[in-house]
Amino acid sequence: MAHHNHHRIITALALSIVAHMLFLAAYGRMADWYRQQDLRPTRYLPDLLLLAPDLFRQRNIGRIPERLMQRVEATTEPGAAVAMPTFDVAPPALASVEPVPADDTLPTPGERQPIFLSQPSLADFSLNERDIEAVAQLRDQYDAYARYWSPDVDPGDTESASRTKAEAIVARAFTAMGGLDKLLKITEIRTVVWVEAFETASGEGRQQQIDTVRVYPYPIATWRMHDLNKFDRDAFRVAFDLSSGKPFPAYVTKNPVFARRAYYELFDARWHLFAPVASRKLRLASERARWHICDWFLGEGIRLSYAGAGRLGGESLLNPAVDRVYVDDRKYGRQFEAYFDRGSGLLLAMRETLDEAEASWFQQQRGSLSAPTWLTHYDDYRQVGDVLLPHQWTRSMSMSRNDPRRPLQRVLLHLNIAINGAAPDTVAPEL
């Protein structure tokens, strides 16, 4: 009996050794095959695109929206014909793509296949569950903030009819300003910004004294808007010549503390003060990329809809009849209402507020019951080259959409404007 048990044990060990040897031989052959095919094991990484964006960064293939290409490539010779773009139901077409570089061509038979993640080490990127969860939350916030274009199911529905009417109103405004073809020729705008002030401060700290004086213009900043997404802002600087017998400008001795603060809160620092970090970058990117008035209404990702007719109201004394156009920037998440004069067709005002997520953040941070609303009036249209541009901007901020006549902050700007390389004059505007 013991002899039979001993024989069974020897047989089982022999079979186990043979099975293991066969398994090792198969594994070796499989490893050699993987090595020949230049493959390697992979692992699942949630949202690797957000955790390691440099690994997926594509080459710049120069894809620029067609309308921006028309603005950049528009000829400046007088009398030259410029094609009149149409309003597209679909988003603007993309420019032709450059030829694919030679190193991206498909491999020939017999060559090694390309490796997806060849060199970077995955140890450099965090796989912590909290980091992955934070990335997922950030992605959800961005998806909720920036909305993308989607095609119409029925081009003849109410939404399409509303958009067509809004596009006609915008086209009429561009015609009143000189024509879309001439507006697209503007590739650079330089501006000297003046604020209307009625106060001047002397002294510092507790010894500071603020006196009310006659309304005067004060140079506050210079703006330079150029290329596709460049909006440079700088403080206005005056060069003094002490050896000259000419008197200094009157504004040199003034210090408009209230007007200066209102300008920075309503223009330069607006999104730093009133928007959370998650959407602040998109807001600032929108101001840089949408500096051209054509991009406000015809840029990539812009959706227009007609919001009805009415009166401008607010601070306007004339209270003209206007057409309201709702603008939804689905690339940068910006939304605002534009008011066009039904008589002249020109843009008269824009109303903008925070979205729901930004308003909730603002209320938590400030303890306020309502989010701010900004109303910007555009007046004093004057000829600059071949087009009409507004030389007076009035922006006010209120905490109530129903009663914008009681603004918490207000500033009136006068602009000296020059386009396409010309330098704006520094002469103070007449008030």
- What's 316-356 look like in SS3? CCCCCEEEEEEEEECCCCEEEEEEEECCCCCEEEEEEECCH
Mean of per-residue pLDDT scores for the chain: 77
| Residues 196, 131 share a domain | no
Select the highest-mean-pLDDT range: 41-45, 60-64, 124-128, 383-387: 383-387
Residue 100: predicted pLDDT: 43
What's the rounded Cα separation, in Å, for the pair 192 and 425? Answer: 8
DSSP at 399: S
Maximum distance among all alpha carbons in the chain?
Answer: 129
Which ranges in 127-183 belong to alpha helices (H)?
129-145, 158-176, 180-183
Residue 40: predicted pLDDT: 40
CA distances from 161 to 89, 93, 168, 303 (A): 11, 22, 11, 13
* Window from 11-20, 31-40, 81-90, 177-186 with minimum mean pLDDT: 81-90
Residue 203: predicted pLDDT: 77
Q: Where are the beta strands (DSSP E) in 251-319?
A: 302-311
Residue 42: predicted pLDDT: 38
Please report, as a single letter, which amino acid is at residue 192.
Answer: V
| Residues 173, 130 share a domain | no
* Window from 64-68, 152-156, 270-274 with minimum mean pLDDT: 64-68
Backbone angles phi, psi at 250, to 5 degrees: -65, -30
Number of domains into which the chain is organized? 2
| Residues 119, 31 share a domain | yes
| Residues 372, 327 share a domain | yes
Of 139 and 427, more confident = 427
| Residues 301, 203 share a domain | yes
What's the rounded Cα separation, in Å, for the pair 231 and 145? Answer: 23
What's the rounded Cα separation, in Å, for the pair 87 and 180? Answer: 11
* 424 within domain boundaries: no
Tens-digit pLDDT profile for residues 294-307: 999 998 889 999 99
Tokens describing residue 311: 């009166």
HEC-encoded secondary structure of 196-224: EEEEEEECCHHHCEEEEEEEEEEEEEEEE
* 387 within domain boundaries: yes
| Residues 298, 255 share a domain | yes
pTM for this prediction:
0.65
Residue 7: predicted pLDDT: 77
Residues whose CB is less than 8 angstroms from the CB of residue 238 and which lie 6 or more positions away in sequence, other chains included: 219, 249, 252
* 356 within domain boundaries: yes
Residues whose CB is less than 8 angstroms from the CB of residue 330 and which lie 6 or more positions away in sequence, other chains included: 146, 147, 148, 149, 301, 302, 303
| Residues 371, 287 share a domain | yes
- 156-177 mean pLDDT: 90
* 104 within domain boundaries: yes
> Which residues constitute the domain of residue 127?
24-37+46-61+93-135
* 83 within domain boundaries: no
Q: Considering the chain, what percentage of its residues have pLDDT values greater than 90?
A: 37
Residue 23: predicted pLDDT: 83
Place of tokens 């802002």: 233
| Residues 221, 113 share a domain | no
| Residues 109, 235 share a domain | no
| Residues 223, 290 share a domain | yes
What's the rounded Cα separation, in Å, for the pair 415 and 264? Answer: 16
Residue 160: predicted pLDDT: 83
What's the rounded Cα separation, in Å, for the pair 263 and 50? Answer: 37
| Residues 174, 97 share a domain | no
CATH number at residue 189: 2.50.20
| Residues 407, 282 share a domain | yes
Residue 138: predicted pLDDT: 67
* Window from 39-43, 211-215, 319-323, 361-365 with minimum mean pLDDT: 39-43
Torsion on CA atoms 182, 183, 187, 191, rounded to nearest 10: 120
Place of tokens 């941070």: 365
Residue 193: predicted pLDDT: 96
Q: Residue 249's pLDDT band (boundaries 50, 70, 90)?
A: confident
- 327-347 mean pLDDT: 93
Torsion on CA atoms 357, 359, 360, 365, rounded to nearest 10: 120
Residue 217: pLDDT above 70? yes
